[in-house]
Chains A and B, each alone.
Chain A
């Protein structure tokens, strides 16, 4: 009797063929093996074919002399001595530059337009609406070409450069401005700026504590301005303006000296900002509309003015809805920056998968590296935005 109960309480013996656990594990192992085999075949086949056709492989080209010039370099680069590796870094920085500036500007534009889109003023709302409808429905490449040609055609030629105040020149080769050359004493200005930032953080912390304890508000905005802008400027003036300027001047063909913002950069930045801004506008609008109208009414009932309501009640709650789709717009902007080659801006895709790929002929390596770079940038952006999202997310108690 007792033996029988024991047997009945034990799990019924099932063939492993019909055990769902065994089955699912087996299928996954099989799938992994098949994938692994596929990758192995592809890699070994590629290697064999490349060596049979005597096509160079490997990363040996990295330290070879590049020998081609790049029109915009944030690092020290010259066709006389720089390597393909340095060309890669120059291209990468150019990509990051346009992506970061573009993200900041597109966010500003998108938030402004998103709020304008919901304005009670028909004109303001209408402008925002048409902006979105037109820009969002045209291909980005067309817009880039439009901006580039608009920039080139609208601006004066180099020989009839427009002369602006402060020694600035504007023509269809760019915006030329004086380049500041800091003297050694200028380091103190940086020091003052650093001190200002630290002091601001400390002051804000103190002001918040005091407000929580007593309810008294401190003039945070003015103190911040004074510490971060006023203090360095004061130090700068006290030290006797330790800075020299290299002014641009007309040479036989171009404008030499100074700093230059090239039309290629401006066109790409314009195009990306305006295009992505339209999408962000819609994201912001959706986010604001997602906040229940009761919140606005409650704020009004407490006597808050409309702009304070928007700033303190609506936007913080809307951010929870906005951040995830905003992240994908940031990623889109970064990836779309690879259209740079069509307007001649030397970004990573232009310099590396363009010229370097062609000079070395090593398509697999170069394209592979470029993919890794874009993947890293995108995952990095997502990572940062996820941290921000987690901080803003609704904390349930």
Chain B
């Protein structure tokens, strides 16, 4: 299987050589194919996970559906391509996927040297630790000399080393290829602590045999702005993905949701009129019909609805909005105006 990864990486590289030149207009390609290819997680509750029937759900999955809704007026025209942390960038670079929405942290090196552009932040996250309650540890600073299980190919690996270095703590890390193996090793007692993004910690904790015996420590040791990424060099597609996200935020801010969006079409509020395309021609400028944002809200919902359904109170994870609340409600989610 390892060799398969090597081979697929090599093929990905070859595909980058051959296919790259043909990917000038991603929007046209997507329309021609008739569906959107979306790079997603292989299975992370709340963000991207197929259920027993093969239906994908999650915050990242909703984002892909929103793009499909804007382009095709059909939120189901998405093919999800499950990618490991390691293979995800190669898949996007080589054109295997049109957009990567896979709880991916936005960093300068990824933005500049990998040939990608991050379009925004759909979830403000941070890295945390999970430990056994029986260890009687109350803070990550007490973890001197502890072993930590970590998944390979993530910013997590580097943050961990940085944090322990900054706090002069000795660290023993054990690195695994998949999140499954990492969690299993932690559960078997190979490590004292398990680390990943805080949202992931809550999701993974539910998969343990006895979730109550484990505790998520209060420290958040890094900034992990997770967001969708597209290839360099296609500004139209970059704009579309970016503004689909902003449209969902704007809708929440204006109180437009899946249920009332049809009624809102008759609203006199100029902001709502511009959002839903009854005034102005903002869709055309994106290369989409003017009701692009209406489609997104009608078929997928606004950001708040999507959040509550996938990771918030309507889901088993029950994550609070926190940093992901709108800017006028104490959070960081802020959309530039549609005008």
Query: Is B110 on the interface with A (CB-CB < 8 A)?
Result: yes
Q: What is the number of contacts between chain A and chain B, taking CB atoms within 8 Å? A: 160
Q: Which residues from chain A contact B153 at a C-beta distance below 8 Å?
A: 354-355, 357-358
Q: Are B173 and A342 in contact (CB under 8 A)?
A: no
Bound together, the chains give a CA A253 to CA B184 distance in angstroms of: 19
Q: Are A357 and B86 in contact (CB under 8 A)?
A: yes
Q: Are A253 and B147 in contact (CB under 8 A)?
A: yes
Q: Are B161 and A79 in contact (CB under 8 A)?
A: yes
Query: Is A287 on the interface with B (CB-CB < 8 A)?
Result: no
Q: Which residues from chain B contact A149 at a C-beta distance below 8 Å?
A: 184, 188
A52, A149, A335, A364: residue with the most chain B Cβ atoms closer than 10 Å? A364
CB-CB nearest in chain A for B182: A344
B51 → chain A closest CB, angstroms: 25
Question: What secondary structure prevails in chain A residues at the interface with B?
Answer: helix
Bound together, the chains give a CA A59 to CA B198 distance in angstroms of: 35
CB-CB nearest in chain B for A357: B86
For window 122-176 of chain B, which residues contact chain A by CB distance below 8 Å?
Answer: 135, 143-147, 152-154, 157-158, 160-162, 165, 171-176
Q: Known: A55-B113, A55-B114. Is A363-B13 also a contact (CB below 8 A)? A: yes
Bound together, the chains give a CA A157 to CA B190 distance in angstroms of: 8
A334 → chain B closest CB, angstroms: 13
CB-CB nearest in chain B for A361: B114
Q: Known: A157-B189, A361-B89. Is A367-B145 also a contact (CB below 8 A)? A: no
Q: Are B114 and A256 in contact (CB under 8 A)?
A: no
Query: Is B231 on the interface with A (CB-CB < 8 A)?
Result: yes
Q: Which residues from chain A contact B145 at a C-beta distance below 8 Å?
A: 251-254, 256
Q: Which residues from chain A contact B144 at a C-beta distance below 8 Å?
A: 252-253
CB-CB nearest in chain A for B149: A344
Q: Are B165 and A79 in contact (CB under 8 A)?
A: yes
A52 → chain B closest CB, angstroms: 7
B105-125 vs A: 1/0 string, CB under 8 Å? 000011011110000000000
Q: Are B6 and A353 in contact (CB under 8 A)?
A: yes
Bound together, the chains give a CA A338 to CA B109 distance in angstroms of: 28
Binds A, one of B16-24, B61-69, B257-265: B16-24
Query: Is A349 on the interface with B (CB-CB < 8 A)?
Result: yes
A69-90 vs B: 1/0 string, CB under 8 Å? 1110000000110000000000
Q: Which residues from chain B contact A340 at a C-beta distance below 8 Å?
A: 2
A47 → chain B closest CB, angstroms: 9
Q: Are B190 and A172 in contact (CB under 8 A)?
A: yes
A54, A55, A338, A370: residue with the most chain B Cβ atoms closer than 10 Å? A55
Query: Is B12 on the interface with A (CB-CB < 8 A)?
Result: yes
Bound together, the chains give a CA A68 to CA B153 distance in angstroms of: 11
Contacting A71 at CB < 8 Å: which of B12, B173, B184?
B173
Query: Is A152 on the interface with B (CB-CB < 8 A)?
Result: yes
A sample of 26 inter-chain contacts (CB < 8 A) reads A45-B20, A45-B21, A48-B21, A54-B112, A54-B115, A55-B113, A69-B160, A71-B173, A141-B1, A157-B189, A172-B188, A172-B190, A252-B146, A253-B144, A253-B147, A338-B3, A339-B2, A341-B2, A342-B176, A346-B175, A349-B2, A357-B153, A361-B114, A363-B9, A363-B13, A367-B6
Q: Name B residues whose Cβ lies closer than 8 Å to a Cβ of A.
A: 1-3, 5-6, 9-10, 12-14, 16-18, 20-21, 85-86, 89-90, 93, 109-110, 112-115, 135, 143-147, 152-154, 157-158, 160-162, 165, 171-178, 181, 184-185, 188-190, 192, 231-233
A-B pairs, 4 with minimum CB distance: A53-B115, A49-B20, A358-B153, A55-B115
